[in-house]
């Protein structure tokens, strides 16, 4: 069953599961970075920051979703907002523009870094090609089964 056709209550429970997974991943990253004891280097700081961000986002989303599930009036308003065709169109267009701008920025960044650091240029080019490949694959899948 596609996410777009999934009924509202199932989507809300799926959101609860994903936010709980974010909380668990955030805790794992925080504990892992602290247990490694390398918080003074870049890698440890990155893991701690990513863990704290995932933990905070997961907790906020979990609390918000559970609060919506428990209040019938908020649930009704959320269902109307989520299933409104205008909001769905705005969401689709914003996703398209986000991808377009992201690809454009990555292409410019890869071009600029070619003058300074070849390895960085190769990494940015790989990410750029990955984004384009995901876009093409999703177009094929959605045209065939969407």
| Cβ(102)–Cβ(108) below 8 Å | no
Q: What is the tens place of the pLDDT at every residue in 27-61?
A: 999 888 888 776 667 777 888 889 999 999 999 99
Q: Are residues 6 and 46 in the same domain?
A: yes
Q: Are residues 45 and 99 in the same domain?
A: no
Which residues span the domain enclosing 111? 85-146
Give the end of a domain, one of 64, 83, 102: 83
| Cβ(22)–Cβ(57) below 8 Å | yes
pLDDT band at 5 (very low <50, low <70, confident <90, very high): low
Which of these, 50, 48, 49, 56, lies nearest to 23 by C-alpha position?
A: 56
Q: Are residues 14 and 54 in the same domain?
A: yes
pLDDT at 4: 53
Give the end of a domain, one of 31, 57, 83: 83
pTM beyond 0.85, yes or no? no
Q: Are residues 7 and 50 in the same domain?
A: yes
Q: Are residues 15 and 45 in the same domain?
A: yes
Q: Are residues 59 and 46 in the same domain?
A: yes
Total domains in the fold of the chain: 2
Q: Are residues 121 and 144 in the same domain?
A: yes
pLDDT at 1: 41
Q: Are residues 100 and 50 in the same domain?
A: no
Q: What is the tens place of the pLDDT at every residue in 60-98?
A: 999 999 999 999 999 999 988 888 889 889 988 999 999
């Amino acid at each position: 069953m596609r996410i777009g056709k999934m009924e509202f209550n199932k989507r809300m429970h799926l959101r609860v599961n994903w936010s709980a997974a974010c909380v668990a991943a955030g805790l794992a990253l925080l504990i892992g970075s602290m247990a490694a004891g390398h918080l003074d280097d870049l890698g440890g700081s990155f893991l701690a920051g990513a863990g704290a961000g995932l933990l905070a986002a997961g907790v906020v989303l979990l609390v918000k979703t559970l609060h919506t599930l428990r209040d019938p009036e908020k649930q009704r308003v959320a269902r109307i907002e989520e299933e409104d065709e205008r909001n769905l169109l705005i969401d689709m267009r914003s996703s398209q523009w986000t991808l377009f701008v992201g690809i454009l920025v990555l292409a410019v960044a890869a071009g600029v870094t070619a003058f300074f650091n070849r390895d960085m240029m190769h990494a940015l080019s790989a990410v750029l090609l990955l984004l384009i490949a995901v876009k093409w694959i999703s177009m094929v899948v959605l045209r065939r089964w969407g």
